[in-house]
Every structure is written in structure tokens, then in C-alpha cells.
């Protein structure tokens, strides 16, 4: 049996909170995961790239939405059709996770899987990949648990899920990255609670989740059995055409579900959290998130080589001039979209 993990990239969001920024970048209404906010490639392509040190390319599954075909089609042209889960509509993360699990368990009975949102940003992708590999190691020793990647909180944010770590797992983690039980999970708490969580050293939830497929399904059976029952006709389809027809019928009546709120926040005792290396994580699903990522990404003069050639210095200066101009335009759009004053600090 193949013990290598699967990576499932969640790329079906509509990106409504970032529409103004997306239009600024692309000139159309494409969702954020198909926009190039940082560098020349889209967030989806960047997500694929940062996963390659941890997950083989042919074991990546992409969960998308039919209406976005003109955007994801060119990007996923090299991906096998069976590795693309096309949802008839966006019905939130719970439906996306269930449909993805149905697809992957047709290939293998109970593989290790991990879910990755396609709208994240990391300053150090090597540290991120290392943390993903460590999460899989924790899963191997704790097959009944789902393992969340948490990161050190930097502010009392009400936009993220928060995790309160409990006792250390005796058989989880490496010398540098340790896994802990989860005492409690808060999904987008109020401002006063967020401040208390920050003071107590709680972690932000990145919504990168690893576990055995069976553990995900058993948790869903406990917390949301109705959605598994609803997807049963899709799981039992005998052909791609039949699956698509049944999914289309199902999604017409399927309510929108949030996996963090509806499932994770209700079952802390079945979770573990691994504090990720300081990889410079950011969720860039909002204008505020893009602004924060731009601040973290600002070029620094530290570490420059005094013996650099004139050509390298000139190339670096040209890039930084371009980057500064790009960032100023993007920051202005983000501030307008988030209601911030355009005279606020600009990062160069």
C-alpha cells in the first residue's frame, strides 16, 4: 500500500472580500487564487510550488468550482482530470473537503491527506514544507487525530481561528517541532477574547490540516452526518458523467458549510496542533491580509554583500524600485477596499 501523502488544494473560493484588489491586478473578476499578487505567478501556482518538497505532483488534488474553469483550466492543464474535483458551485469548505475525500479514497482506501488553502503567503517556504512533513510524521503516530498547523499570533485578530495548545503529545513531533493536544478552538473570536488569547500565547490556525482520510470521515460522521449522507449518491456513482450529474443535483440544495466553525471548533479533543516554524505565514484573503503580507515582504538592506558587482547592485536597485512602485499602487487599492486612510504608512 502506498504510504505517501496526498495534498488537497482548496481553490474554490469566490474571493468576494478581495474583489477590488483582484480587479486591480487582473482587469477582470477572477477570484484571488488565480491572481498574481506576489511575483509573476498566481496564488494557486505558488501553492503548488511550495508543496512539492512535501508532496509529489501526481498526488496533488485540486478542488475548484465549475464557473472558474476559464481561470483554472490553463493553470491546471498539466494535471490529470481525475486529480481535479470540479464542484458545481461554491458551498464552503465542508462540502469541498467531503467531495475531495470521496475522490481520493477511490484511489486508496485510507491515505494520509492534508488540506491547503490556495490564498496563503509564506516568506520562508522551506520552513513551511518542513512543517508539513512534520505534521505527516505526527499523523503516522496519532492516526485518530487531525493535526493542525498553528503559527505564533502577532496581533489580537478577529479574522482567524485560534488554538489553545494543551499537553504535549508523547509520540508527536520532532526535536524542533512539537505537537500538542488542543484544549480549545475558537473560530473568529470577539476582540476582547482575541486579546486574552494573544496574552496567553495561543496560536493562529492556518487551516492547513493533516490526517488519515478515515479520521476526517469519522469526525464528519460525528459532527455533521447529514452532509456525508447527502454525498452518498455522488460517492456511489459508477462513471464520471453520473458523478457530475449527481453532484449537480446535490449542490443545488446543499447549504454552505464552514469546516472550521461547524466541525473543528466542536471537537478539540480529537485534534492536535503543531506549531509551525516561523515561516512568515499570512492569510491574504482580505485587503488587510495583503497589506500585512506586503509589510512582511518589504526588501531589507540587511545582509547585502559589500563586494557585489555593479551589475548585481543595479539589478537589485531596479527590482526594488519596481517593487516599491507596485506595492504603493496595490497598497492604495487595499486601503481603499478596507476603508483605511490612504495617508497611512506605506511600506517600501
The DSSP code for 57 is: G
Provide the β-strand partners of residue 307. Answer: none
- pLDDT for res 1: 47
In the chain, which stretches have pLDDT less than 70? 1-2, 39, 172-176, 298-327, 340-348
Q: What are phi and psi of 14, to 5 degrees?
A: -90, -15
> Cβ atoms within 10 A of the Cβ of 54, count?
20
Vertex 110 angle, CA 130 and 169, to 5°: 50
| Overall residue count recorded for the chain in this entry | 348
- pLDDT for res 33: 92
Query: Which grid coordinates belong to 208?
Result: 492547513
131 and 177 Cβ atoms separated by less than 8 Å: yes
- pLDDT for res 285: 77
- pLDDT for res 191: 95
Q: What is the pTM assigned to this prediction?
A: 0.86
- pLDDT for res 326: 64
- pLDDT for res 345: 46
Q: What is the pLDDT of residues 54-86, one digit of tens each?
A: 999 999 999 999 999 999 999 999 999 999 999
Query: Which grid coordinates belong to 38?
Result: 506576489
Q: Which residues contact 295 (CB under 8 A, 6 or more apart)?
A: 347
Q: Is the dihedral angle over the CA atoms 18, 33, 125, 328 positive or is it negative?
A: negative
**Helices 225-235, 240-253: crossing angle, 10 deg rounding:** 150
Rg (CA), the chain: 21
> Cβ atoms within 10 A of the Cβ of 154, count?
12
The four Cα atoms 110, 179, 284, 294 give a dihedral, to 10 degrees, of -140
Q: How far apart are CA 213 and CA 234, in angstroms?
A: 17
- pLDDT for res 343: 46
Question: With left for phi above 0 and alpha for psi between -120 and 50, is residue 75 left, alpha or beta?
Answer: alpha
SS3 258: coil
- pLDDT for res 342: 47
Q: How far apart are CA 245 and CA 96, in angstroms?
A: 17
85 and 103 Cβ atoms separated by less than 8 Å: yes
- pLDDT for res 292: 79
SS3 124: coil
Helices (H), the chain: 19-26, 43-51, 69-75, 92-107, 125-141, 191-199, 213-223, 225-235, 240-253, 259-262, 287-297, 310-338
* Furthest CA-CA distance within the chain: 66
Q: What are phi and psi of 163, to 5 degrees?
A: -125, 130
DSSP assignment of 152-213, as one string? Answer: E--S--SSSEEEEEEEEEEEEE-SSSEEEEEEEEEES--HHHHHHHHHTT-EEEEEEEEEEH
CA contacts within 13 A on the Cβ side of 262 = 18
Amino acid at each position: 500500500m502506498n504510504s505517501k501523502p496526498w495534498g488537497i488544494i482548496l481553490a474554490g473560493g469566490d474571493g468576494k472580500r478581495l474583489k477590488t484588489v483582484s480587479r486591480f491586478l487582473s482587469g477582470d473578476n477572477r477570484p484571488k487564487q488565480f491572481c498574481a499578487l506576489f511575483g509573476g505567478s498566481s496564488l494557486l501556482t505558488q501553492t503548488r510550488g511550495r508543496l512539492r518538497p512535501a508532496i509529489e505532483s501526481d498526488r496533488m488534488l485540486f478542488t475548484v468550482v465549475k464557473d472558474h474553469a476559464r481561470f483554472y483550466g490553463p493553470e491546471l492543464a498539466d494535471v490529470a482530470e481525475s486529480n481535479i474535483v470540479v464542484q458545481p458551485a461554491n458551498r464552503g469548505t465542508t462540502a469541498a473537503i467531503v467531495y475531495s475525500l470521496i475522490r481520493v479514497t477511490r484511489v486508496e482506501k485510507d491515505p494520509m491527506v492534508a488540506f491547503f488553502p490556495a490564498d496563503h503567503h509564506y516568506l520562508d517556504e522551506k520552513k513551511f514544507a518542513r512543517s508539513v512533513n512534520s505534521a505527516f510524521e505526527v499523523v503516522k503516530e496519532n492516526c485518530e487525530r487531525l493535526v493542525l498547523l498553528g503559527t505564533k499570533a502577532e496581533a489580537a485578530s478577529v479574522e482567524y481561528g485560534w488554538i489553545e495548545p494543551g499537553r504535549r503529545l508523547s509520540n508527536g513531533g520532532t526535536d524542533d517541532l512539537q505537537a500538542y493536544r488542543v484544549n480549545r478552538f475558537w473560530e473568529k473570536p470577539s476582540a476582547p477574547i482575541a486579546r486574552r488569547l494573544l496574552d496567553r500565547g495561543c496560536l493562529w490556525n492556518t487551516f492547513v490540516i493533516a490526517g488519515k482520510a478515515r479520521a476526517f470521515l469519522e469526525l464528519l460522521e460525528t459532527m455533521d452526518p447529514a452532509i456525508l449522507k447527502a454525498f452518498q449518491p455522488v460517492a456511489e456513482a459508477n462513471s464520471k458523467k453520473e458523478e457530475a450529474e449527481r453532484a449537480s443535483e446535490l449542490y443545488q440544495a446543499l447549504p454552505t458549510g464552514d469546516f472550521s466553525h461547524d466541525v473543528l471548533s466542536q471537537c478539540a479533543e480529537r485534534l492536535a496542533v503543531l506549531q509551525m516554524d516561523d515561516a512568515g505565514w499570512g492569510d491574504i484573503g482580505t485587503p488587510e491580509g495583503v497589506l500585512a503580507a506586503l509589510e512582511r515582504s518589504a526588501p531589507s538592506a540587511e545582509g547585502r554583500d559589500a563586494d557585489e558587482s555593479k551589475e548585481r547592485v543595479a539589478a537589485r536597485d531596479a527590482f526594488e524600485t519596481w517593487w516599491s512602485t507596485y506595492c504603493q499602487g496595490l497598497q492604495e487599492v487595499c486601503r481603499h477596499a478596507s476603508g483605511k486612510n490612504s495617508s497611512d504608512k506605506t511600506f517600501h
